[in-house]
Chains A and B, each alone.
Chain A
Amino acid sequence: MNLTLRIWRQHGPEDKGRMVTYPVQDVSPDMSFLEMLDVLNERLILDGEEPIAFDHDCREGICGMCSLMINGEAHGPQRGTTACQLHMRQFSDGDTIDIEPWRARAFPVVKDLVVNRNAFDQIIAAGGYVTAPTGSAPEAHSVPVPKADADAAFESAACIGCGACVAACPNGSGMLFTAAKITQLSLLPQGQPERYTRVIGMVDAHDEAGFGGCTNIGECASACPKGIPLNTIGRLNRDYLKATAKRAGS
């Protein structure tokens, strides 16, 4: 099939950036979306132009590196699918496709479609862990975990840190990402001792990093390729309230 791509080009953080149109021919429906970009890049290089910079690594939907806004949707039209797993059979001959980077205050553009998501790491560093120095762990079976809790913790732990939730949110909020980690750890016995300091640390880091507030619009959960449920944010809010009450009381 033949397509028209309109792609965001931006030389660097200081550049203003613009959409540039590229026609592409003979796209196979079996190609992945990123392979289609590879083919375009090969052509651009031979034509003496700079190839389009975009982030990717595993190309199997797990590393969270790929990050494309495709026709205004984070990771494109297929639900539960990262950009790297999207295949061209989802498109039709003659389509025009807009490709842009994540846009959010906390994720500045580095070049073309590449953004800086370091803010996510800062949120984790502020409490998204269980303190368990190597060697200090008790025997694994000393604390049984009900299967339902372990399964629910897993659901939230499936977050790949891609940032689609932030890109999809009109406020550029990182609450779904933050809540996913909070939920995982607060469901497990191992996460209890630091439960309330964790939520305060992470939410403060979230706000400091320039993410917007959550107004419960829910765009994040529909864009999330890993199906992180919106109710994790409710859980975060409850823990946060309790934590602030505890802090005020102490």
Chain B
Amino acid sequence: MDLYTEGDPIADTRAPDGPVETRWERHRFEMKLVNPANRRKMTVIVVGTGLAGGSAAATLAEQGYQVRSYCYQDSPRRAHSIAAQGGINAAKNYRNDGDSVHRLFYDTVKGGDFRSRESNVHRLAEVSVNIIDQCVAQGVPFAREYGGLLDTRSFGGAQVQRTFYARGQTGQQLLLGAYQALERQIGLGNVEMNARHEMLELVLVDGRARGIVVRDMVTGEISTEMADAVVLASGGYGNVFYLSTNAKGCNVTASWRAHRKGAYFANPCYTQIHPTCIPVSGDHQSKLTLMSESLRNDGRVWVPKAKGDQRSPREIPEDERDYYLERIYPSFGNLVPRDIASRAAKNVCDSGRGVGPTGLGVYLDFADAINRLGRKAIEAKYGNLFEMYERITGEDPYEVPMRIYPAVHYTMGGLWVDYDLQSSIPGLFVIGEANFSDHGANRLGASALMQGLADGYFVLPNTLANYLASSGPLDKVDASHPEAVAARTEVEDRIKRLLAINGDRTVDSFHRELGQIMWEHCGMERSEAGLRKAIDEIRALREQFWQRVRVPGDGEGLNQSLEKAGRVADFFELAELMCIDALHREESCGGHFRAEHQTPDGEAQRDDDRFAYVAAWEYTGTGEPVLHKEDLTFEYVHPTQRSYK
């Protein structure tokens, strides 16, 4: 293809071989350790305080390293992990319902549509059980049964009940557990916390990650912080679509700056579109709100059979409704995985049968469940979600069916990492949603929280030690090192440039327009023509951005427009790479659906012969990225076409 070139394949992922069940154990034994006296002399930078970064920073500090933590919010407790509702998976098999480490491994590889690395996924399933122990010990108030033991439920496409939860606020409770462990280390002087600080550049010395350039968002001061290693835990990039379920500040800047410095970006086009979100209400819309997937356990999804049926939902008789998920997927019904439910909603709306003022919505109806179980039971299960829905829409879901529509929710792609979670830059580790590992082309519900905590509590602390021990004492470097000075100057110049444009459009207006291009052409369904068009449009809009954006104020002090401008500038570059990745992947898999590649009945058609690889992109600066392929082999879970019929 004309838009990229192909480079060498990735030869080594450092994944050990041998039986999959013993790989992590053996690797742990073979890795080197840092002796406790030396840890105190080593500094680690951790960017991000979500489940991944918070748990990593606390654990590294407990082990004796000097840790410097950064987040853009005013407190580490506000990272967007706080918003996760549904739950966290773990292979505890407390239900005795046939769950096991192997089954969680199997489900995750299959759920990811055979585009993830078996070694990593197995490790994830193994450590999942330790996560629950750790969180309980911290005082996380998980839901419990009357006997005092932990309750679990089933979630998104799983046939066992392995999801632990804390009412509708699982992410909040897990994050507060990690945050409190982190605050303890802050209080002890082992972590230096820098809230309201944004990482704007990575510093490399002799090819290794040795520091970052940050902006103090309150004073505007730019500083360079040096360390022995850098960990990015900066979350996902769903906000490239402008509208998503992510928090307003979620961004790709930390990852993108690292990518520009040499870290490969893997599978950027793998995006998860969540089927149950509250639909857009107008042009003022600033974000989309998720309605937990657990609602699909009791709600039935339908649209009118007739196009353009304007009657109110309660006036539409049973036989004029199309419960399309139950019709098309009789064995999973309303519980089909996210990508399938989302695309089905798009299809019925595209065919003119969508509901609500914009026609972009489908009903999620609880009338049957209320009749069967009683209003009280529904209230006990979903009360807080129903209230949230009513606050936003002004409609009472006990009386009128909810309206839902898919929205961008999670990004499976991210910086490429090896088995040790190290990027292609030595000394730069990437954890949580910011990396690409584990979920392949589609993430299962309740598995992101699991991965963030697995990475931060149990994987990274071991693999980082191995890096530090193997690389020997690194040269002492400080902010006056020429590479550090150069990185800092880059940041300062960029800020000056953004402030100097003084054009006639706001940052948000550009971001919205970029989001529309991406949603239209790189969203739920992609095609060659659409993606090519999107790439042209993104390039043209990016040029406009750099000529016409208006960033008021100056670089000194709090300037929220400036913060946004820097993030949107990076989204523009990422957006193009996402489209190139989507264009080059001439198959459909998981969250990536190419119109040209579907089975006769409209399901995703993978092409394992040509595309069973991770696409890791190298930045070249010329606009033409270089593709490095990491071949995926499946020794344990054999690729089949996913079927939920």
Q: Interface on A for B, CB 8 Å cutoff?
A: 11-12, 28-32, 34-36, 38-39, 42, 45-46, 48-51, 53, 55-65, 78, 80-81, 85-87, 89, 110-111, 114, 116-118, 120-121, 124-126, 128-141, 143-147, 150-151, 153-154, 157-158, 160-161, 184-185, 188, 190-191
Contacts and interface: CB of A to CB of B under 8 A. Distances in A.
B137 A38 contact: no
A46 B394 contact: no
B116 to A, nearest CB: 25
Nearest to B55: A134
Contacts of A121: 75-77, 183, 186, 193, 195
Contacts, number: 222
A133 B62 contact: yes
B75 A118 contact: yes
B74 A190 contact: no
8 contacts: A11-B557, A30-B394, A58-B248, A64-B78, A121-B77, A128-B183, A134-B457, A157-B166
A141 B284 contact: no
A190 B284 contact: no
Nearest to A54: B560
Q: How large is the interface on B (under 10, 10 to 19, 20 to 34, 35 or more residues)?
A: 35 or more
A114 B458 CA distance: 37
A223 to B, nearest CB: 17
- Which residue, of A111, A134, A141, A190, has the highest number of chain B Cβ atoms within 10 A? A134
B150 to A, nearest CB: 6
Given A65-B73, A110-B558, A118-B195, 7 more contacts: A57-B78, A57-B248, A59-B248, A59-B289, A60-B83, A130-B137, A190-B138
B138 A132 contact: yes
B80 interface: yes
A190 B391 contact: no
A117 B59 CA distance: 25
B97 to A, nearest CB: 16
Contacts of A161: 75, 77-78
Contacts of B457: 134-135
B285 A35 contact: yes
Contacts of B290: 60
A63 B284 contact: no
Nearest to B504: A46
A158 B251 CA distance: 26
A63 to B, nearest CB: 4
9 closest Cβ pairs, A-B complex: A144-B148, A125-B187, A129-B180, A137-B137, A132-B137, A137-B133, A154-B141, A125-B183, A57-B247
Interface in B260-298: 281-282, 284-287, 289-290
Contact of B218 (A110, A147, A191): A110
B600 interface: no
Contacts of B553: 50
Given A32-B286, A147-B144, A125 B186 contact: yes
Given A45-B552, A137-B130, A157 B83 contact: no
Contacts of B133: 137-140
B71 to A, nearest CB: 10
Contacts of B387: 80
Interface in B173-191: 173, 176, 179-181, 183-184, 186-187
A216 B457 CA distance: 41
Contacts of A136: 137
Interface in B155-175: 166-167, 169, 172-173
A64 B77 contact: yes
B527 interface: no
Contacts of B186: 121, 125
A147 B509 CA distance: 50
- Which residue, of B62, B92, B176, B387, has the highest number of chain A Cβ atoms within 10 A? B176
